[in-house]
Amino acid sequence: MIIDIGTPDELRLALLPLKNVKIEIAADLLATEAGCKCGGCHKPFGTARKWRSVGRVVHIGESGPMMTTWLFCGKCTKEAGGNVPEHLRQEARAAYGAARLMTVEAGGTA
């Protein structure tokens, strides 16, 4: 089975260790609206608040790989202590569950 998702460069970012590709991932996020705010406190990045770390959760299952990524400000980086906060892990699990539901064929006679 061939899964056609993303470009080879995007897949490379998902599969390599985060410490090796965090600058490239941050550049991708900053180019979108999703990278304009801290993943922890949701405050906007600017001259006073800059991103200091990248958090990532990767799910690999029957629906294929799915990467959820956040940028964190210095305060949230320090508070998290190098880990993705539990509420964001739950958010990533919920997103993966929703993606799995979209791949299931509709059945039944409700």
Q: How far apart are CA 66 and CA 59, in angstroms?
A: 5
Q: How many C-beta atoms surround the C-beta of residue 51 within 10 A?
A: 21
Give me the domain span that covers residue 75: 8-101
Residue 68 domain-assigned? yes
* Residue 14 is assigned to a structural domain of this protein: yes
Residue 2 has what pLDDT?
40
Mean pLDDT for the stretch of residues 82-100: 88
Indicate whether 109 belongs to any domain. Answer: no
Residue 76 lies in a domain: yes
Q: Is the dihedral of CA 52, 7, 2, 103 positive or negative?
A: positive
* Model confidence band, residue 105 (pLDDT cutoffs 50, 70, 90): confident
Domains identified in the chain, total number = 1
* 36 assigned to some structural domain: yes
Report percent pLDDT > 90 for the chain.
Answer: 17
Task: Report how far residue 44's alpha carbon sits from residue 73's, in angstroms, rounded to the nearest whole number.
Answer: 9
